[in-house]
A and B are shown apart, each in its own frame.
Chain A
Amino acid sequence: MSSYPVSTPKPSDPWKSVTPTTNQATSLTGDDAWVVRAFVIAWFTLLLCFTVVIICLPKTAFLLAYLLACATVIAMLYVRRIVAEPVRELTKFDTSDPYRLAYLRGGANEALRVATAVLIEARHLMLLQNESSGEKQLVTAPNCDAKSLPFPLERAVLRFFTTPRKPEEMFEQGGLKRQVDDLYKEELEKAGLLPSEAQKQARTSRALFALIFILVVGLTKIGVALWYGYTNIGFTVIIMVVAAIWALTFIGDYRTRFGNYVIKSLESLFEGMRAQAATLKANASMAQIALLAGVYGVAALPAEVFPEVREAFPKAPTDSSSCGSSCSSSCSSDGGSCSSCGGGCGGCS
């Protein structure tokens, strides 16, 4: 019997560390394969019937029906995601490593960016500027002892900048990014915060089904209209393109809903500290600065207070909340182009 004065209605002991269980992927056993095949056949049959019916509708009725059908398909993608990726029983998540939070929020690039920012602020990294070309480079401070730093990621970044390099180079180096992935990816996938390979495949399959529907119906109607000499296809094109892009955002390795829950919780808990970001440098510990950057990104550090950090990353992503299911390709330029917002907005390769 516990002798603690538990007085709440549910005096469970939920804070105890729960070992992350294996992320239950949506993989199918052989017995389920026939269900999938039947679903695919039924889906394509319905699609064919629906396409025939819908393209026979007059112009306005077709637009309305197409719009509703696209909206329904997108809504089904959301519903399917909610069902397939439930917010699990809240487990303990190690918040002592700000780079783990940054990785969860934005992938390897974001973890590297936050680690570099913290190291600059701690004077372990120095920012050099070529006066003639204006090019900026980072180099490890002469007296810095990498072994004394607590986080492996910090040590890796310091080793990387032993020779002066441009900050963007660390995003290009497969080796450094791979090290970050090795540190955090598997752990976060096991905890259900990042999607497993099977979950990513399932997301892609669902999005492709939706995409096929949107494009088949839209393109068929456009083809029929053009065949008969009609050119007023603008609304159909707009609906098709918007719906297709929307469906495409469901593909990718952004966080799970559970991962989003954790990130949003952390953002909420740190809101008060973010409001005081301008005074952090004078009053705060390095742990506070690191966690603030880990949870909100380097952009949460005001440029006027942390000028060197912002000089090193002038185009750092500003917000994590834009990532997730509605992630677009608006990643920062420091890592090159971003194809599908992989790993949140830090997935630029």
Chain B
Amino acid sequence: MVETLPDRVGLGWRAPLAADILANLDRIEVVEVIADDYFDAPGRERQALRWLGRQVPLVLHGVSLGLASTAPVDPVRLDHMARLIGEVEPWLWSEHLAFVRGGGIEIGHLAAPPRTAATIEGTARNLATARAIVGSDPLVENISTIIDPPGSTLDEVTWLQHTLVATENSLLLDLHNPYANACNFDFDPYEAIARLPLERVGYIHLAGGKWVQATRFPGRRLLDDHRHATPQPVFDLLAEVARRTPQPLVVILERDGDYPPFAELLNELDVARTALARGRAAQKARTDVVTTL
């Protein structure tokens, strides 16, 4: 018998939100912790993280591996991640499909890699290394960009499709990123999502951003800064993903600053639940129609 697990909705763990999260665990079903913050942390803090993982399902999220690159991933960082995962025993771990360093230079930003066959090959190699060192596969996250990566020969979705074909990793689908990219580069985010292998989506990120005036090129860009409320079109995309996917989804709301009253964040989680329910209901209605026919 196939056990059907419910969708889960949760929040990114940040120090200023810690007390409110722990006081509202009845409404937060999963938390996501930035793994890199704990790579050099004393044992006591890692022990605390392990304890947190027993209070609520915990996901470790990496930000510095730089997997989407032709340069090999740093084995020392992977070793840090492996040790942390061994100690904390999280539910899942994830990392961005981003380019963060090259030629010994840290760019300090999760940049989109050039979308080429070479970076797909490099990413697949790095993910294989990650699996070998850590012992499990990370979920890999699509990223946003305000410029088209120089040297790209593929569009974003094609690059993602090919990368997922070349690997066995599941997808951490950040829904604000295709929304922001769609705004910035004028494409339909629904169409982009429809082209993705949605059966490989493990969990989902929601976030908000702001419009910024570009200085080196004309027009303005939607910046994925995680400091604003999730816009309604992103919730609509969530409903669309829920409609298209059969597997249970884990949804994490990301917030990295300008924290509103916690009730507002809880309200955003409720809106996400409503969107999920809407999508599931539409899926069920469609299934019922097909069955009837």
Chain A residues with CB under 8 Å of chain B are: 1-12, 14-15, 90-93, 95-96, 98, 261-262, 264-273, 276, 283-285, 287-288, 290-292
Decide if B219 is an interface residue (CB 8 Å cutoff).
Answer: no
Q: How far is the CA of A288 from the CA of B2 in the complex (A)?
A: 41
Decide if B18 is an interface residue (CB 8 Å cutoff).
Answer: yes
Q: Give how many A-B residue pairs fall within 8 Å (CB-CB).
A: 131
Question: What does DSSP make chain A's interface, helix, strand, loop or mixed?
Answer: loop
**Contacts A98-B23, A272-B18, A291-B19 known; 17 new A-B pairs at CB < 8 A:** A3-B5, A4-B91, A4-B202, A5-B139, A5-B202, A9-B89, A15-B55, A15-B57, A91-B54, A95-B25, A96-B24, A96-B25, A276-B16, A285-B19, A285-B20, A287-B20, A292-B19
For residue B47, which residues in chain A have a CB less than 8 angstroms away from its CB?
261, 264-265, 268
CB distance from A274 to the nearest CB of B (A): 9
Q: How far is the CA of A7 from the CA of B140 in the complex (A)?
A: 12
Interface residues on chain B, number (Cβ under 8 Å): 49
Q: How far is the CA of A265 from the CA of B22 in the complex (A)?
A: 12
Decide if B224 is an interface residue (CB 8 Å cutoff).
Answer: no
Which residue on A lies nearest to B92, using beta carbons?
Answer: A7
CB distance from A174 to the nearest CB of B (A): 30
Chain B residues with CB under 8 Å of chain A are: 2-5, 15-16, 18-20, 22-26, 44-45, 47-58, 85-86, 89-93, 135-139, 170, 202-203, 247-248, 250, 259, 261-262
Q: Is the CB of B55 within 8 A of A7?
A: no
- Partner among B15, B26, B57, B138 whose Cβ is within 8 Å of the Cβ of A7: B138
For residue B202, which residues in chain A have a CB less than 8 angstroms away from its CB?
4-5, 7
Q: Is the CB of B26 within 8 A of A265?
A: no
Q: How far is the CA of A272 from the CA of B48 in the complex (A)?
A: 13
Q: Is the CB of A5 within 8 A of B170?
A: yes
Q: Is the CB of B92 within 8 A of A5?
A: yes
CB distance from B263 to the nearest CB of A (A): 8
Which residue on B lies nearest to A9, using beta carbons?
Answer: B135
CB distance from B172 to the nearest CB of A (A): 9
Which residue on A lies nearest to B169, using beta carbons?
Answer: A7
For residue A264, which residues in chain B have a CB less than 8 angstroms away from its CB?
44, 47-48
User: Known contacts A1-B2, A95-B23, A96-B26; is A262 also within 8 Å of B51 by CB?
Assistant: yes
Q: Is the CB of A287 within 8 A of B19?
A: yes
CB distance from A251 to the nearest CB of B (A): 27
For residue B3, which residues in chain A have a CB less than 8 angstroms away from its CB?
1-3
For residue B4, which residues in chain A have a CB less than 8 angstroms away from its CB?
3
Q: How far is the CA of A117 from the CA of B57 in the complex (A)?
A: 32
Could you give 11 example pairs across A and B, Cβ below 8 Å?
A2-B5, A7-B139, A8-B89, A10-B89, A90-B51, A264-B44, A264-B47, A264-B48, A271-B15, A284-B19, A285-B261
For residue A287, which residues in chain B have a CB less than 8 angstroms away from its CB?
19-20, 23-24, 262
User: Known contacts A268-B45, A268-B47; is A3 also within 8 Å of B2 by CB?
Assistant: yes
For residue A96, which residues in chain B have a CB less than 8 angstroms away from its CB?
22-26
For residue A270, which residues in chain B have a CB less than 8 angstroms away from its CB?
18-19
User: Known contacts A1-B3, A95-B23, A270-B19; is A7 also within 8 Å of B93 by CB?
Assistant: yes
Which residue, B26, B136, B138, has most C-beta atoms of chain A within 10 A? B136
CB distance from A107 to the nearest CB of B (A): 21
Q: Is the CB of A92 within 8 A of B55?
A: yes
Q: Is the CB of B24 within 8 A of A15?
A: no
CB distance from A117 to the nearest CB of B (A): 15
Q: Is the CB of A285 within 8 A of B262?
A: yes
Which residue on B lies nearest to A4, using beta carbons?
Answer: B5
For residue B137, which residues in chain A have a CB less than 8 angstroms away from its CB?
7
Which residue on A lies nearest to B47, using beta carbons?
Answer: A265
CB distance from B173 to the nearest CB of A (A): 12
Q: Is the CB of B53 within 8 A of A14?
A: yes
CB distance from A42 to the nearest CB of B (A): 38
